[in-house]
Chain A
Amino acid sequence: MPKRKELITGRKSFSFKRFFLQWEWLLVLAFIAVNIFDAAISPYFLDMNNILSSTMNFLDNAFIVLPMVFVIMLGEIDISVGSTVALSAVVMGVFYDKFHTPMWLAVLICLAVGALCGLFNGMIIVKFKEIAPMIVTLSTMTMYRGIAQIIIRDQSGGNFAPWFKFLSWGYLGSIPFILVVFAVAAVIFGLLLHKTNFGRRVYAIGNNEIASLYSGIQIGRIKLIIYTLTGFMSGVAALFLSSRMGSTRSDMATGYELNAIAMVVLGGVNIMGGRGRMIGAIIAVFIIGFLKYGLGLINMSSQVVLIVIGLLLAVSVALPNIKKSGGKQRKTEEA
């Protein structure tokens, strides 16, 4: 419109209001609230050791949240991750039990299977752009779990080497090993998203894939890397999950994909892509994790947890939209 130039804002000045009105701070508040809640209902909770070790119960799923942030940032989705966890864990079990490979080799195979599953998704999504990623991963979700069923039927496997238990049950000092690994992974993924070329390009694709193409960004390559990475991290999750369960079954990690997506979206990443931050998703992991743990402490059934998480997800995404009804007209004006 005519007097547009006046609308241009100058160099971003630091504003406390803007800084504290970010989604991530709301999440921090929610996180604190959950902790106060936990502490109020159970005197045992406030014990630092308890808090730390409670993370062992939910962090395996969180490994998938990290790459899922990238997938959703692209404006796409991967619902095959739960099945990838099952398949890579089952293959690992079979290699260890039946072929008697050394444990370290079985672990590597698990990671490789995960990465391969992701690579396959990525190749189909990149090669056949006409098919929505949701559909591709819907079919591979059925397929991967199906392959796991073919391999292991309704049995369970994985009588793993003793040291393998350390992954999910071990401590470094007083800190659970899994927490350390997750922290390292979270930092790496966060830096990758926010501080590198690669991350910037992911944001670009999520905001406007066409303009990214015309800017010379190699979209196919980036997608391939991200889906492969997602598969690989599903393999990592498979390691920790089978270590925690002490066995592998074809029906393990059902629903992991939707949990991961829920945490990413709760963390403020826009499902349409291009907006959000890694830290939000990481805080969301701990909010949901501690919430589950706290409700578990007072013997609240896991069913209530389901309800709470479901409502939390729907309401949190609805929240910013409730007051927005007046803001729409401006948007149409821009067009």
Chain B
Amino acid sequence: MCDCVLQIRGMTKVFSGVKALDSVSFDLKAGEVHALMGENGAGKSTFIKVITGVYQPDGGVIILNGRQVQINNPKDAQKFGIAAIYQHVTCYPDLTVTENIFMDHLEVSPKTGRILWKRMHAKAADLLRHLSSEIDPKTLMSELSVAQQQIIEIAKAISTHANIIIMDEPTAALTKNESEDLYKITDQLRNSGASIIFISHRFEDFHRVADRVTILRDSQYIGTWGVNEISEEELIVAMVGREIKQMFPPKTAVAREEILRVKGLTKTGYFSDVSITVKRGEIVALTGLVGAGRTEICETLFGIMKPDKGEVYFENKKIRIVDPNTSMKLGIGYLPEDRQVQGLIMNWSIQKNITVSRLEMFSNRGWLRPDLERSKAEELASMVNVKAKSVNAPALSLSGGNQQKVIVAKLLLADLKLIILDEPTKGIDVGAKYAIYEIMDNLAAQGYGILMVSSELPEVLGMADRIVVIRRGRVSKTFSRRDATPEKVLEAAMPIETAALCQE
């Protein structure tokens, strides 16, 4: 009765006693783009992994083209015509594009088993041309940008003749233009008859490509709507399960004297001639496209990278950037973008994570004093309101928002004056974001200077006193809170290819 290619009924998956999927149902029609939305931890990734055979469900049925099937492993999924493009591109960085596309189904001569390289290179070139990409199939995967790698993954899906294609947050790491290209490719795939499950956080993706949307919350199926049947507000309510009235806390901090002045900072290949100032009590946002050089600017100020040119004045004194240790001693702290790799030691306790950057505070001539360490860690953890039973809980047992709070606590310990926050709310639940914003505002009110990198326009407009837009490694424009509008900021962030062409 239904023209569904894929039907899922009562899908359940349990991990060590916790339900990651609780009797979830889902329908995918032929030739539709079906958005799958939900907060982090709602069960989207698990759902995908069950469909692609990475996990085995503990209950429920999968019906493919009207036939009930079992998908025991990724190879099975491939046979059924299901292909997934994962959030973190899974590729072979040391191998060529052709091999990355064809690794699961290398073409060999039927008689000798010899790999037919020429044919595969030609086919790969064909596929890529079809996706309007000019990547040379003999390029190494590691030499490509994230967007290009994603195109390779799509080519790979097409090459296996997949008719169900799953895209797991494909636009998360893409710039605006790259996202546009991806939308086009998605449309093209749909028109050629493929069904697409599109997982995303961004409403823009949803409006631009999806036909229908299904929402998961707390591992459960909430509902499915046509794109035009539901408003953004209703979507949020469905995802969060409550209404979020206020996105940003009221501003209480007042800007005071200048604390940081950067003049003409340059790092070859990353950014050039960057000048920024930050005052005490002020929140300055660095925004722009991913890859414009924002993170690199911050990492340079913190001492991870060394600048090639330029001057940095901190509290009106010229400073030399040496390493993170020196920067922290001066009073510059950095909350890195990747919590799990750069921010935390995941299998360490909250306490050890908080104290690791300033151990000398808890020691007597190098000897650790566990009692001091514990009381200080507890004090800081409760200050930022980390939700955990004790500071002995390992960092990996915390949710993203709480992990972020632990990193903030770690920074607070270090007696800082300037805090650099790199995408502080990336991958955090809507509810937990508010808590982070409150902390930020609170810190500014206490007199910290705050430099925030963010790609989320609402966050930038809602939190920052001043907005510095970076485009291709240079400051393209600076706005005050009053002057900034989404349109103006976006315009300043977009690359001006045409202008550049005219100059040449």
Interface residues of A (CB under 8 A from B): 1-12, 195-198, 200-201, 204, 207-208, 210-218, 329-330, 332-334
Contacts and interface: CB of A to CB of B under 8 A. Distances in A.
A44 to B, nearest CB: 44
Contacts of A195: 367-368
B357 interface: yes
Contact of B392 (A6, A12, A212, A333): A12
A330 B410 contact: no
B346 A8 contact: no
Give 7 nearest A-B pairs by CB, closest first: A215-B357, A197-B359, A216-B328, A216-B325, A10-B389, A216-B324, A8-B393
A4 B324 contact: no
A200 B389 contact: no
Interface string B45-62: 010000000110000000
B357 A216 contact: yes
Nearest to A275: B347
A208 to B, nearest CB: 5
Given A211-B343, A216-B357, A7 B324 contact: no
Given A11-B392, A197-B359, A204-B345, A5 B18 contact: no
Contacts of A332: 54
A217 B325 contact: yes
Interface string B1-29: 00000000000000110111000000000
A162 to B, nearest CB: 40
Contacts of A200: 352, 356, 359, 368
Interface string B318-362: 000001110110000010100001111111100010001101100
A207 B396 CA distance: 13
A334 B43 CA distance: 12
Contacts of A9: 389-390, 392-393, 397
Nearest to B369: A195
Interface residues of B, number: 51
A217 B356 contact: yes
B41 interface: yes
Nearest to B342: A214
16 contacts: A3-B18, A4-B397, A7-B18, A8-B388, A11-B392, A197-B360, A201-B359, A207-B345, A210-B342, A211-B342, A211-B344, A212-B356, A214-B336, A214-B343, A216-B414, A333-B46
B287 to A, nearest CB: 22
Contact of B42 (A2, A329, A330): A2
Contacts of B367: 195-197
B359 A214 contact: no
Interface in B389-404: 389-390, 392-393, 396-399
Contact of A197 (B19, B43, B363, B388): B363
A215 B15 contact: no
Listed residue (A207, A213, A216, A332) with the most chain B CB atoms within 10 angstroms of its CB: A216
Contacts of A215: 324, 356-357, 410
B465 interface: no
A277 to B, nearest CB: 15
A330 B15 contact: yes
Given A207-B347, A214-B304, A196 B390 contact: no
Contacts of A3: 18-19
Listed residue (A1, A204, A207, A334) with the most chain B CB atoms within 10 angstroms of its CB: A1
B306 interface: no
A207 B345 CA distance: 7
B218 interface: yes
Given A1-B41, A2-B19, A201-B356, 11 more contacts: A1-B18, A2-B43, A2-B219, A8-B388, A204-B356, A207-B345, A214-B334, A216-B327, A217-B357, A330-B16, A334-B396
Listed residue (B325, B346, B396) with the most chain A CB atoms within 10 angstroms of its CB: B325
Listed residue (A9, A201, A218) with the most chain B CB atoms within 10 angstroms of its CB: A9
A1 B54 CA distance: 17
Listed residue (B345, B360, B389) with the most chain A CB atoms within 10 angstroms of its CB: B345
A193 to B, nearest CB: 11
Contacts of B110: none
B345 A197 contact: no
A315 B177 CA distance: 55
Contacts of A197: 359-360, 363, 366-368
Nearest to B299: A214
